Amino acid sequence: GAVVSQHPSRVICKSGTSVKIECRSLDFQATTMFWYRQFPKQSLMLMATSNEGSKATYEQGVEKDKFLINHASLTLSTLTVTSAHPEDSSFYICSALQGASSYNSPLHFGNGTRLTVT
């Protein structure tokens, strides 16, 4: 149980275009999802917290107009990288919180999306 599906796994796009990444909780409802960015050989950097039915909360330094997050249902959150540039190339990972938000609730992660902007 507790499967999170992230799609696509890899995407290559041209500079200036937009890319949408989907994160779905397949067998549970997730009121809260998280989006991370991971640079090579580094840990995960939290970009934003996505709450169903409300605006996402962005971490300091993350441009909300560039990284659009939509969490329209209890099983789907999307991250759209708008006007992508080569420096946006990275590994993006989503995670979902199963059940009520609690500090001892584990996160369930998607398999990540490798974005390459040419």
Partner 1 sequence: AQSVTQLDSHVSVSEGTPVLLRCNYSSSYSPSLFWYVQHPNKGLQLLLKYTSAATLVKGINGFEAEFKKSETSFHLTKPSAHMSDAAEYFCVVSAFTGGGNKLTFGTGTQLKVEL
User: Which residues of the shown chain bind partner 1 in the complex (CB under 8 A)?
Assistant: 4, 6, 9, 41-44, 46, 91, 93, 95, 101-104, 106-112, 114
User: Smallest distance from the beta carbon of 83 to partner 1, in angstroms?
Assistant: 25
Nearer Cβ to partner 1, position 5 or 82? 5
Nearer Cβ to partner 1, position 14 or 41? 41
Residues 6+ apart with CB under 8 A from 67: 35, 47, 48, 58, 79, 80, 81, 82
Q: Kindly provide the residue ranges of all beta strands, DSSP E only, lying in 26-106, ordered along the sequence.
A: 32-38, 44-51, 57-58, 67-73, 76-81, 90-97
User: Smallest distance from the beta carbon of 34 to partner 1, in angstroms?
Assistant: 8
